[in-house]
Amino acid sequence: MRILALFILTFIFWLLLTLDFSVANLVAGAAAALVTSLLFAKYFFKKVVKFLQPVRYFWLLVYLVIFTWECIKANFDVAYRVLHPAMPIKPGIVKIKLGLQSDFARTMLANSITMTPGTISVDIIDDELFVHWIYVRSEDPEVYSQKIAGKFEKYIKKIFE
Amino acid sequence: MNSMVSTIFISIGVLFNLFGCIGLIRLPDVYNRLQSATKCVTLGTCSILVGVLIHSGFIDIGVKALIAIPLLFFSATVAAHALVRGAYHAGIKLGDKSVKDDYKDAVK
Amino acid sequence: MDILEILLYIQIALSVFCLFRVIRGPSIADRMVGLDIFGILVVGICAILAIQTGRSFILDIAIAWIILSFIGTLTLAKYLSGKKLNE
């Protein structure tokens, strides 16, 4: 099952990359995709059934819109801090609690945190995520957990778990 | 029309790349440099690739640019995590202005 | 002179800026950040060149460059955190 899902994904990737629908190309792509999926299927998602649930794709779209908006905001934030003559930075590493279980969801949360304003994720130890914050706004763990991760966590839970 | 919109997107991308590079030169320590550089340069380059997609439509150039966008996002962010973590484990201190360091207790 | 050409020259100048950080950087980590960002900027150069010349193989180079620079950065980061490469 996992091999089949990975085969389909890699084959679509090959077709997009070449955009050539002659028979020779299709056969070559199928061979390459088969070898890849046989070799790497054990690193793929555990539950392939998740690909077939359309509600996840809907939340993925919502999430992409929010994420793009946060990205653009992050860039203006960085531009302001860099161009300001006094450089208003107050950096520090803070610790936030994770509510997600699966590995892929955690990776996505860390990636999202890296692209949002002023934060970059450093490491995950057990259930805690360490985040380097360029301007530490508050000292209270509840407040900054909500501020950094709360926005994305509920969507990622709906998409990947 | 299409070429004008795509030129605007590419200009915005180059502008953000410029901010990222200024941050890379100006900010005081490696963690802050990595912050500004990763964010700005990744989104700037993605904006350039979107410009390429708009300019050429869904022929081979555009589709390849579309493939490159998610690839760039994942590789840039994961490389940034690896660099931050490696720099911390190599013993590089946080800058003078830093106010808080929760990670120090966890590593020990 | 075309506006795309000007943007291309600006982008090349920016990547030279990054090399400044590679040369100057006080610690090894600074140099590695410079190299990482340099790799992403080269992808931008490739994209603008692909529009200007109208050839699609340049974007193939860009995709391969993304993957190779990712692997290179991961390897260097692993070296930096003091582990063996076979872990």
Nearest to C7 among B10, B67, B72 (CB): B10
Nearest to B84 among A92, A120, A139 (CB): A120
Residue B47 pLDDT greater than 60, yes or no = yes
**CA B16, B21, B27, B32 torsion-angle sign:** positive
Lookup: tokens for B63: 């589709």
Cβ neighbours of residue B3 under 8 Å, at least 6 residues apart? Answer: B55
Asked if residue C39 lies in contact with residue B83, where contact means CB atoms within 8 angstroms, the answer is no
C interface mutation test: which of B45, B67, B72, B96 has the most C CBs within 10 A? B45
Asked if residue B77 lies in contact with residue C75, where contact means CB atoms within 8 angstroms, the answer is no
Cβ neighbours of residue B1 under 8 Å, at least 6 residues apart? Answer: none
Q: Decide if A123 and B103 are in contact by the 8 Å CB cutoff.
A: yes
Regarding pTM above 0.90, the answer is: no
Question: In this predicted model, what pLDDT tens digit does every residue of A66-110 receive, in sequence order?
Answer: 888 888 888 888 888 888 887 777 888 888 888 777 888 888 888
Q: What is the pLDDT along chain C (87 residues), one digit of tens a residue?
A: 688 889 999 999 988 888 888 888 788 888 888 888 898 999 999 989 988 888 888 888 999 999 999 999 888 888 887 766 665
d(CA C68, CA C71): 5
Within an 8 Å CB–CB cutoff, is residue B69 touching chain C? no
B interface mutation test: which of A72, A89, A107 has the most B CBs within 10 A? A89
Which strands make up the sheet holding A128-133, listed edge to edge?
A119-125, A128-133, A92-97, B100-101
ipTM, two decimals, is 0.86
